[in-house]
Amino acid sequence: MLPCFDLRGHFDWKYHAIHYWHVEIRDVDMSEATGQEPEYWLVIDLEATCCNDRRFPRAEMEIIEIGAVIADGKTLQAVDEFQSFVRPVRHSVLTDFCRDLTGIQQDDVDSAPGFREAMDGLTGWMRLYPNGVFCSWGDYDQKQFARDCSVHEVEWPFGDRHVNLKMHYADRFPMTRGDSFATVFKRHDLKFEGRPHRGIDDARNIVRLLAVIFST
């Protein structure tokens, strides 16, 4: 999970019109999602290359960690998880800012699989839990996946549904623009477990909020 940086990117709109938006992703209404009672929730959080000095635009960010947790659709408890670092190719050397923010070190990504291989691992794991509904805290993760799948010519593996858990949380519990993930946890007397801005730790903690979001 990454914060929003005011970095102005220059998009190749023709390229993105052909490749980036080749999948139409529906942000599923919560009532629709719960009415279908999915067997599993597929909670994913990504970390990506980033900077705070405008050395590269947001459009050139690349995934460097995939954190995914499967939660049971009825109990909302974690069932299994997947984690993989990913080796970036466009900006292969992590910035000091990125390392400090995420705790991910250069050796972690240098020895990691490339995006295509990491996605093979993720999709192989996902097949153990068919019909899971892809969800994340915000819409950044599905957009970053779409961008990287396009760049690396990897088939989109998540179907056409995505649940923006942050949006649905905000429907029940008003949020201000500056509210952080830590603010949300404090509101519900929860303590974040692990390191913020690590994909797998963020995904684990998002699962802990499912019971809050789905509570009646």
Q: Where are the beta strands (DSSP E) in 73-176?
A: 78-85, 133-136, 161-164
At 177 the pLDDT is: 86
Contact 194, 83 (CB under 8 A): no
Half-sphere exposure of residue 142: CA atoms within 13 angstroms, side-chain side: 25
In a domain, 33, yes or no: yes
- pLDDT, tens digit (0-9, with 9 covering 90-100), for 2-37: 433 333 333 332 333 334 434 455 555 544 554 567
Give the range of the structural domain holding residue 84, as residue numbers without chain letter.
25-213
Residue 163 lies in a domain: yes
Q: What is the pLDDT of residue 63?
A: 98
pLDDT of residue 1: 56
7 within some domain: no
What pLDDT score was predicted for residue 7?
Answer: 30
- Does residue 10 lie within any of the structural domains? no
pTM score of the predicted model: 0.86
SS3 81: strand
- Mean pLDDT in residue range 31-53: 84
Q: Per-residue pLDDT tens for 153-167? A: 999 999 989 999 999
pLDDT band at residue 215 using 50, 70 and 90 as cut-offs:
confident
Residue 203 domain-assigned? yes
Task: Give the mean pLDDT of 204-213.
Answer: 97
| Any domain includes 15 | no
Mean pLDDT of the chain: 87
Dmax (CA) of the chain: 47
Say how many domains are in the chain: 1
The reply to whether 20 falls in a domain is: no
* CATH code of the domain in which 198 resides: 3.30.420.10
pLDDT above 60: residue 42: yes
Residue 17 lies inside a defined structural domain of this protein: no
Instruction: Kindly state the average pLDDT of the residues 109-117.
Output: 98
